[in-house]
Amino acid sequence: MTMLATFWIVLLVALNAPAGNGQSVQTDPIKSGFVGDTVELRCVFINGKPPVKISQVTWQKLINGTKQNVATANPDLGVSVLPPFKDRVSFKHPAVRQRSPSTLEDTTIVFSNLRLSDEAAYICEYTTFPAGNRENMVNLTVFARPVTQMTLTSSTIVARTPQRKIPVASCMSANGKPPSVIKWDTTLNGEPTFQETRNPNGTVTVHSNYTLLPSRETHRQKLTCIVTYHTDRFIDSVILNVQYEPEVKIEGFDGNWFLNREDVKLTCNADANPAVTVYQWKLLNGSLPNNIEIKNNTLFFKGPVTYEFGGTYVCDATNSIGTRSGLVEVNVTEFPNSPRFDDPDIPKAVHSSGAAIGGAVGGVVLLVAAIALLVFFLRRRQRTFKGDYSTKKHVFGNGYSKAGGMPAHPPMPKNLQYPDDSDDEKKPTQISGPGGFESADQDFDGNSEDLKRPYFTVDEGESRDYDERTLPFQYDPEPEITDDMVSQNDGSVISKKEWYV
Ligand SMILES: *[C@@H]1O[C@H](CO)[C@@H](O)[C@H](O)[C@H]1NC(C)=O
Ligand SMILES: *[C@@H]1O[C@H](CO)[C@@H](O)[C@H](O)[C@H]1NC(C)=O
Ligand SMILES: *[C@@H]1O[C@H](CO)[C@@H](O)[C@H](O)[C@H]1NC(C)=O
Ligand SMILES: *[C@@H]1O[C@H](CO)[C@@H](O)[C@H](O)[C@H]1NC(C)=O
Ligand SMILES: *[C@@H]1O[C@H](CO)[C@@H](O)[C@H](O)[C@H]1NC(C)=O
Ligand SMILES: *[C@@H]1O[C@H](CO)[C@@H](O)[C@H](O)[C@H]1NC(C)=O
Ligand SMILES: *[C@@H]1O[C@H](CO)[C@@H](O)[C@H](O)[C@H]1NC(C)=O
């Protein structure tokens, strides 16, 4: 078999043209177009040898097993296109369109302005003499582009309690054939629902809602709908606008409101959409102190702290969705707390237990230190000290009120006025007795880098910075140290290691 013969056989099979007695009718097996498109339905007669005479050509629509005539071409009578197709179907070849067609070898028809109802099998039938009928068929498929749109269920979604899942956005691809595929792209934790509706004309409407629990977290989140139809992609996004009640937090109480502290205030911070319109302050079981000034969401306490400032403060924040409260329990202490525990990052529960442990251990260590110093001092009196120990600063932050026999509380240095907002300013306050530090260090291991820094024991000259930070807070750890010794050591005492010698 030659290459050429193989080629022809492949071609004939491909053209769906079964050969019979030399004559055949060629059509494309399938053809498709979109609604409104124009398509050509090809039909070509391959004559044999000897040639046969074409008496008539008829195009028929095959639907539900019955045939309906579309167009006819006759060498003597001309062409005729029947009413339902008259405006939209014509023979392509000008020679065929003449009153007496000279040739009917190519009776391809042009089908314009396609409708969904045009989808059918079409038969091109040649009536010949003397060979009889020869026919072939083309299946025409009509597609319909969908109309796609994405909509927010409503411009604002309200997060109500009790929470309930609601559709927030909807994506619809209407009257498509074949149906579109809808997908959602978002980081939101909702769920889509899908619904397909088949129309009588064969198109399908695909509808998808995205449902979720509206909340503060879903506000301003992006939701994208991706509709795929054939090779087309429709992508649209919306940003959710979720309204929610205020989420209230009272800031300003640092756990260290001691008597005579100045400039304390409480601020009611609320995250709300829409914004909070009304803030209301109250004191549980009592009325607000007189010397208070309220500006917007802030409660300014005028004058130094007194015990009257103590109590449970409640702030009610109201927006159009609702009212929520925040509360803070303010305790006024006589003296500043162990400043180290003022770090707002440390949880309250740990805070108090840490302070207790720190205080207890600090007290024990102080006692040991006192004895050690006394022994040291007495020995020093006996012989001249050949100083080769390394001098260390030792700072006691929380021991002043706990170690028995301490002198009256020293006057507050200026920078012990704890500002609420400056972390940096609080760092110097992170000092403590050595024991307190050690036990707390295990508790908070890894929690805070700051806590790992040895604020309490600083090698002389190691860091100017630490000196500056710690010096203002030094309290004389041992009242029995005489003046000349303190001056000798420049406010320093020997390290813990040496106390235990
Ligand atoms: C084809 O048949 C179906 C039911 O089998 C019928 O619903 C439809 O109307 C028919 N179409 C035509 C054009 O007769
Ligand atoms: C064309 O459609 C007819 C029925 O409508 C079906 O029997 C035939 O297999 C189809 N041919 C092709 C090539 O799809
Ligand atoms: C989408 O939500 C609308 C409005 O709530 C509802 O009418 C429709 O049935 C829902 N559709 C789907 C597919 O869930
Ligand atoms: C198909 O039917 C639907 C409603 O049944 C209609 O909205 C749509 O326009 C129709 N599509 C075409 C292409 O006729
Ligand atoms: C606050 O007052 C309420 C009733 O007025 C009372 O039931 C409650 O025990 C009081 N709480 C405190 C801590 O006094
Ligand atoms: C209240 O807040 C608004 C906006 O934050 C500000 O413009 C206004 O000055 C504040 N009023 C007072 C009394 O602080
Ligand atoms: C404040 O003081 C009261 C009574 O002294 C105590 O019950 C409460 O635990 C303290 N709260 C804090 C946060 O320290």
Whether residue 193 contacts residue 219, with contact meaning beta carbons closer than 8 Å, is answered with no
Q: How far is the CA of 116 from the centre of ligand 4 (A)?
A: 9
Q: Give the ligand whose atoms come closest to the C-alpha of residue 198.
A: 4
Structurally, at CATH architecture level, domain 3-143 sits in: Sandwich (2.60)
| CATH superfamily for domain 247-333 | Immunoglobulins (2.60.40.10)
Q: Ligand 6: which residue has its CA nearest to atom 8?
A: 296
Cα 359 to Cα 432: distance, rounded to the nearest angstrom: 9
Assign 181 to helix, strand or coil.
Answer: strand
Q: In what order do the strands lie in the sheet with 311-318?
A: 278-283, 311-318, 323-330
Q: How far is the CA of 425 from the centre of ligand 7 (A)?
A: 26
Can you read off the two tokens belonging to residue 172? Answer: 């619809």
Q: Give the ligand whose atoms come closest to the C-alpha of residue 200.
A: 4
Q: How far is the CA of 176 from the centre of ligand 3 (A)?
A: 19
How does DSSP assign 269-292, residue by residue? EEEEES---EEEEEETTB---SSE
Residue-by-residue pLDDT tens, the chain, 501 positions: 445 444 444 444 444 444 446 889 999 999 999 999 999 999 999 998 888 999 999 999 998 899 999 999 999 888 999 998 999 999 999 888 887 788 899 999 999 999 999 999 999 999 999 889 999 999 999 999 999 999 988 888 999 888 899 999 999 999 999 999 999 999 999 999 999 999 999 999 999 999 999 999 999 999 999 999 999 999 999 999 999 999 999 999 999 999 999 999 999 999 999 999 999 999 998 888 888 999 989 999 999 999 999 999 999 999 999 999 999 999 999 998 765 544 454 444 333 333 444 444 444 444 545 555 555 555 655 554 444 444 333 333 333 333 333 333 433 333 333 333 334 433 333 333 333 333 333 333 334 333 333 333 333 333 333 333 333 333 334 444 444 443 334 444 333 333 343
Ligand 3 atom closest to Cα of 153? 4
Regarding the beta carbon of 333 and ligand 7, being less than 6 Å apart is answered no
Q: Ligand 4: which residue has its CA nearest to atom 8?
A: 175
Ligand 1 atom closest to Cα of 66? 14
For residue 86, the tally of other CB atoms under 10 A from its CB is 12
Regarding the beta carbon of 307 and ligand 7, being less than 6 Å apart is answered no
pTM for the model stands at: 0.61
**All structural domains of the chain with their residue ranges:** 3-143, 147-240, 247-333, 347-381, 386-501
Candidate from 139, 140, 142 with most ligand 2 atoms within 8 A of CB, to mutate: 139
Domains 147-240 and 247-333 share a fold: yes
Give Cα 26 distance to the centre of its chain: 59
Candidate from 35, 145, 175 with most ligand 4 atoms within 8 A of CB, to mutate: 175
What is the reported pLDDT for 21? 62
What is the reported pLDDT for 383? 53
Q: Give the ligand whose atoms come closest to the C-alpha of residue 115.
A: 4
Cα 305 to Cα 332: distance, rounded to the nearest angstrom: 8
Q: Please check whether the domain covering 147-240 is classified as CATH 2.70.98.10.
A: no
Q: Give the ligand whose atoms come closest to the C-alpha of residue 202.
A: 4
Ligand 4 atom closest to Cα of 202? 1
Only one residue has tokens 């959409």, namely 273
Cα 485 to Cα 377: distance, rounded to the nearest angstrom: 9
Cα 487 to Cα 468: distance, rounded to the nearest angstrom: 18
- What are the strands, taking DSSP E only, across 391-475? 391-394, 457-459
Residues 6+ apart with CB under 8 A from 438: 361
Cα 492 to Cα 438: distance, rounded to the nearest angstrom: 20
Assign 15 to helix, strand or coil.
Answer: coil
For the four alpha carbons of 88, 90, 92 and 94, in that order, the dihedral sign comes to negative
Whether residue 28 contacts residue 16, with contact meaning beta carbons closer than 8 Å, is answered with yes
